[in-house]
C-alpha cells in the first residue's frame, strides 16, 4: 500500500503564513519530482489572506484595496483564514489518473469527511468544490474550494474546507468567481463548533483511501432545484 506522509503542525496560534506555506510547497514539490520524498500532504490553517488563481477577473477582487496574493494555481480568487482546514497534497499522479480525476478524488475525500460529521454534501456539475443544495430559501452554497496545479506530473496547492471560519471575510469579493451562490461553513450547517483540527482525522482517513488511486464509487451530485420561469405579461 502507498503510504502518504501528513505534516500538520500549523493550527490555531501556529497558523502558517501563506507565502511561507507556498515556498514549503515548492520545496516539497521539487523533492517529490526528484523522488527524494514520497507523497506528502500539508494540513494547516492560515492567517487571513486572499489568493487569486490564474483565471481571476478584475471585478472579482476586493474593491476596498485589500491585498491579494496572485498564485500559480488554477481557479479564481478565494479566502484562507482561521477556522479553515487547508490541505496541500504534494502527490505524484499515476499515468492513468487525469487531472480532473484527481480533483474529483479530493472532492470525494472531503464529501466523505463531512459525512462523518453528519453533513450531506456533493458536487455541482460544472463547478469544482463541495456544495450543499438549495434549501429553505437558502441558495446553493459552497463549503470547500479546490484549486490545484500539476507540474512535471506532481500536484501542488489543494483545498480549503470551511469549519468554523468567519464568513464575513467572503463579503469583500466574489468567491471563486461565482456570484449566484453562497458560501457556508461546517459549524453553521451542523450547529456545533468544529475546528480544523477536529475534522483533519476524517480528512486523512479518506485522503489515504482515495490517494491509493484505486477505483472508487463517487458520491452523487447534489439535487438542484428547478425554478419555474415566470411568463412576461403582455401589454
- CA–CA separation, 131 and 79 (whole Å): 16
Q: At residue 134, what are phi and psi to the nearest 5 degrees? A: -60, 135
**Cα–Cα separations (whole angstroms), residue 71 to 76, 181, 229:** 10, 24, 40
Low-confidence ranges of the chain (pLDDT < 50): 177, 227-235
- pTM score > 0.85 for this model? yes
pLDDT digits (tens, 9 = 90+) for 203-221: 999 999 999 999 999 999 9
User: What does DSSP say about strands 69-70 and 49-52: parallel, antiparallel, or unpaired?
Assistant: parallel
Residue 9's Cβ-side half-sphere holds a number of Cα atoms within 13 Å equal to 3
- CA–CA separation, 132 and 175 (whole Å): 15
pLDDT at 136: 76
Q: What is the largest CA-CA distance in the chain?
A: 74
pLDDT at 226: 57
Query: Which one is catalytic: 44, 148, 176, 203?
Result: 176
For 151, the grid coordinates are: 507540474
Contact predicate 32/90, CB 8 Å: yes
Rounded to 10°, the helix 196-210/99-116 angle is 130
Contact predicate 54/73, CB 8 Å: yes
In sign, the C-alpha dihedral spanning 184, 61, 70, 17 is: negative
Respond yes or no: is residue 163 known to be catalytic.
no
- DSSP string across 154-209: EEEEEEEEESS--GGGGGGS-GGG--SSEE--HHHHHSS---HHHHHHHHHHHHHH
Amino acid at each position: 500500500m502507498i503510504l502518504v506522509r501528513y505534516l500538520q503542525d500549523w493550527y490555531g496560534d501556529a497558523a502558517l503564513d501563506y507565502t511561507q506555506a507556498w515556498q514549503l510547497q515548492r520545496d516539497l514539490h521539487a523533492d517529490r519530482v526528484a523522488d527524494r520524498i514520497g507523497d506528502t500532504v500539508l494540513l494547516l490553517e492560515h492567517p487571513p489572506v486572499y489568493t487569486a488563481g490564474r483565471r481571476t477577473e478584475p471585478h472579482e477582487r476586493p474593491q476596498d484595496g485589500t491585498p491579494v496574493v496572485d498564485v500559480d494555481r488554477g481557479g479564481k480568487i478565494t479566502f484562507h483564514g482561521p477556522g479553515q482546514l487547508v490541505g496541500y497534497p504534494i502527490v505524484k499522479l499515476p499515468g492513468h489518473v487525469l487531472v480532473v480525476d484527481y480533483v474529483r478524488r479530493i472532492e470525494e475525500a472531503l464529501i466523505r469527511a463531512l459525512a462523518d460529521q453528519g453533513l450531506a454534501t456533493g458536487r455541482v456539475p460544472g463547478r469544482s468544490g463541495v456544495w450543499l443544495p438549495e434549501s429553505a430559501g437558502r441558495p446553493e452554497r459552497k463549503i470547500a474550494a479546490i484549486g490545484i496545479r500539476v507540474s512535471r506530473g506532481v500536484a501542488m496547492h489543494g483545498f480549503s474546507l470551511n469549519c468554523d471560519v468567519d464568513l464575513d471575510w467572503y463579503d469583500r469579493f466574489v468567491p471563486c468567481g461565482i456570484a449566484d451562490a453562497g458560501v457556508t461553513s461546517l459549524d453553521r450547517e451542523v450547529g456545533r463548533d468544529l475546528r480544523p483540527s477536529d475534522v483533519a482525522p476524517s480528512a486523512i482517513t479518506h485522503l489515504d483511501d482515495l490517494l491509493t488511486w484505486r477505483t472508487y464509487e463517487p458520491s452523487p451530485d447534489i439535487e438542484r432545484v428547478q425554478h419555474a420561469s415566470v411568463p412576461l405579461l403582455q401589454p
